[in-house]
Amino acid sequence: MHGRSEGNGRRSFSGRPWQDRTADPEITLRFAQRHGLPELLAGVIVARGVAQADLARHLSPRLKDWLPDPSSLPGMDALADRLAWAVRRGETVGLFGDYDVDGQAAVALLARFLAALGVRVLHAVPNRLRDGYGPNERAFRTFVGAGAGVIVCLDCGSTAAGPIATISREADVLVLDHHRADGPPPGVHAHVNPNAPPVAEALSTSCATALAFLAAVATNRELRRAGFARAVSNGVLLDLVDLVALATVADVMPLVGLNRAFVWRGVEAMRRGPRPGVAALAAAARIDIGTIDAEAIGYALAPRLNAAGRLDDAGLGVALLMTDEAREAQSLALRLDRLNRDRQAIEAAVVEAAFAEAERQVEAGRSVLVVAGAGWHPGVVGIVAGRVRERFGRPAVALALDGETAVGSGRSVPGFDLGAAIGTLVRQGLVLKGGGHAAAAGVTLAASRLGAFAEALAALWGAEEEVREPVVIEGRCRIEGVTLEASQALARLGPFGAGNPEPLLEVGGRVASLAPVGPSGTHLRVVLEGESGALLEAIAFRAGGTPLAQGLATARGGLVRAAGVVRPDRYRGGEAVGLRLVDAAFA
C-alpha cells in the first residue's frame, strides 16, 4: 500500500492530484438532522466514516473513555513493580531521555511524578553532537556514582544493548520506548515498547511520554495495592497530561483515539492553568496561551524546545518543563527562543541548497528525494527534510556529510512507512544504523552509499514517478458560507494534526487580488470574491515562487476552485475568518 490516489480530472496549480471524498448530500442531510449538527460538519463526519455509536466520544474525546489498562502493555507490570519497590525503599532513580521534545517531556513527567512520591530523582539527556542518539555508559555511570539503583530510559534504550548490558550489573535498567526494535536489549530488567515483540497494536502510535504517563498510573496503582500512604491522587496524575499533549504533537503521532484524547485534555489544561514553563514559552513565541491549540504547539512551542537539543543542551527543555518558578521559566524560555532564531538562520541556508537539489531530482523523475551537503548542521536536517517533503509532496531524506559519514533524518508522506523502510535497509547492511516512525526516521550511512540508499528507498516506496501526496477534499461551500460559525463547527473535530487533519474545503470564487507577504515574500495573500461580491481572504504559507503562486497569478481575475482550511483570522480580532490555502485549480 503506497497511498496512491487518482485525481478528479482537474489539474491543480501545484501539480498535486485532488481526491474527492465529500459525502453524499442526501446522507449528509439526514445525518445532520438526526444529530442536530450543522450540515458542513455532518458532511465531514460522514466522509471520515465516524460510526454513529462513536459520535459522542468523537466530538468530546474524554480521556476516561480512551485510557487503557496499563497492564495491557507487555512489560508494564514488571516496570511498575520495580518502580514501586524503589519508591517504598527510598531508592534514587536516574532518568535518561532522548534530546527531542518527547524525551524531554517524558523525563519531566516521570520526574514530577516520582518527586511527588518523595523520591530523589536524577535526570540527563544526551548532547546530540557529542553523545549522539540513545543511552551512553558515561551517563549511566554518573547515575550509579550518585547512588541510583534504578535507571529508566525514556524514548530510547531499545537498541542500546552495550550500555545497558554493562550497567545492568550495578543497577536495574527499565526502558520505556516506542521506536521499532527486534526485542528487549540484553540485561534490561523491564522493557515496555509497543513496537517491539510482542507488539501492542492498540498503543503502537503512542509517544514515549504517553507511555511514561501509563507507567505513572501503573506504579501509583501498585503503591495503593501495597498500602503505601503517600500514593498520589488522580488529580496529580491528570496534572501531567499537558506534557503528554506537548510530546504527542511534537513527535507527530496520529491524533486519533487515545492520542487525540490526550491532546484534547492537555490543551484544555494549558489554556486554563498552564505550568510556568509552558506559559513562558508561549509568551516568548508570542502565542496567546488562552487560545493555544495543537497547531501552536507544533509550530511554536515544539520547535523552541527542540532547538535546545539541535544546537545546545536539551537539558534546557527539561529544566523549563520542570520548574515551578515564573522567573526561571521566563529566563529559560527566552534562551530557547534565541536558540530557535539561531536554528532558523542555519536552517534557511540549508533549505535553499536542499530545494535546489530536490528540484533537480524531481525533474529527473525521483519518487523519493535524498538531499545531502557538506557543512550542513546535523541539528536541522530533520526540519529540512520536512520542508522538502512539504514543497514537493514526496518522501524526503536530508543528510549532513561529515567526512565519510552521512547522518540525517527523513519525513514521509501517508502510505509510506519510512521508519520500517530504513529498518529494512539496516538489516540488509546498506545503512549503518537508523529507524523511527512511519512519518519520520533517522539514518546514518557511509557517504559513498548515498546513491544506493536513494535507489533502495525508491524501490521500497515503489511509487510511480508522478505520484504526489493528494489534496483530499472533504467538503464544499460557497464563499458566503465561510463564516465564523462554520469554522467553530468544524473545530469540534479537533485537535488537528497527523492522522486527523483539518478538513479541506473546496471554495469557488474569482481571484480578486494576490500579493506576496511576509519576510522576502515567503507567503502569498489572496483575496477571493464570491458571486454576491463577498470577499474571502486566503493565505498560502511558504507559497512564494511556487507553481501555486504562478498558477494564481495566471488566474487573476478569473474563477478558481480553492482548496483550504477555514480558520478564524486572529490577526483581525478573531471575529473574521480566512482560508489557509493549500492548492487551487481553474474552475
What is 279-299 written as a DSSP string? HHHHHHTT--GGG--HHHIII
pLDDT tops 60 at residue 574: no
Cis peptide before 547 (omega within 30 of 0): no
Domain end marker among 399, 429, 461: 461
Q: How much is the pLDDT for 573?
A: 54
Q: Looking at the structure, do residues 378 and 512 belong to the same domain, yes or no? A: no
Asked if 400 and 406 touch (Cβ cutoff 8 Å), the reply is: yes
- Residues 454, 501, single domain; the answer is no
Expressed as residue numbers, the domain containing 547 is 18-23+474-586
CATH number at residue 579: 2.40.50.140
Tell me: do 79 and 196 sit in the same domain. yes
What is residue 371's DSSP assignment?
Answer: E
Q: Among 207, 231, 255, give the residue marking a domain's end.
A: 231
Q: Which three cell numbers stand for residue 29?
A: 442531510
Buried b (16+ CB within 10 A) or exposed e, 269-285: bbeeebbbbbbbbbbbb
Going from the C-alpha of 213 to that of each of 154, 204, 236, 525, the distances in angstroms are: 11, 15, 11, 42
- pLDDT digits 0-9 by tens, 276-294: 999 999 999 999 999 999 9
Q: Is residue 266 part of a domain?
A: no
pLDDT in tens, 407-447: 999 999 888 899 889 989 999 999 998 887 788 888 999 99
Summarised one tens digit per residue, pLDDT across range 95-143 is: 999 999 999 999 999 999 999 999 999 999 988 767 777 899 999 999 9
What mean pLDDT is reported for the chain?
A: 91
Question: Is residue 3 one of the residues assigned to a domain?
Answer: no
Tell me, what's the pLDDT at 169?
A: 93
Question: Is-contact 321 275, C-beta < 8 A?
Answer: yes
Q: 86 and 208, same structural domain?
A: yes
Tell me whether residue 255 is in a domain.
no
What's residue 479's pLDDT? 94
- Residue with cell string 535507571: 151
For residue 166, the model assigns a pLDDT of 94
The structural domain count of the chain equals 3
Host H or E run for residue 40: helix 39-47
In the chain, % of residues over pLDDT 70: 96
- 176: nearest Cα among 107, 123, 238, 277: 107
Preceding omega of 495 cis (within 30 degrees of 0)? yes
* Same domain flag for 451 and 527: no
Q: Please report whether residue 10 resides in a domain.
A: no
pLDDT at 312 over 50: yes
Give the per-residue pLDDT at 555: 94
pLDDT at 465 over 60: no
Distance CA 150, CA 147 (A): 9
Summarised one tens digit per residue, pLDDT across range 19-64 is 999 999 999 999 999 999 999 999 999 999 998 878 988 898 999 9
Query: Above 80 in pLDDT, residue 517?
Result: yes
Could you tell me which residues are beta bridge partners of residue 472?
19
Q: Which grid cell sits at 261?
A: 484524547
Residue 229: CB atoms within 10 A of its CB come to: 6
User: Do 405 and 495 fall within a single domain?
Assistant: no
pLDDT (0 to 100) of residue 415: 82
My answer on whether 456 and 499 are in the same domain is: no
DSSP string, 10-24: --BSSS--EEE-PPP
The pLDDT score that the predictor gives to residue 255 is 95
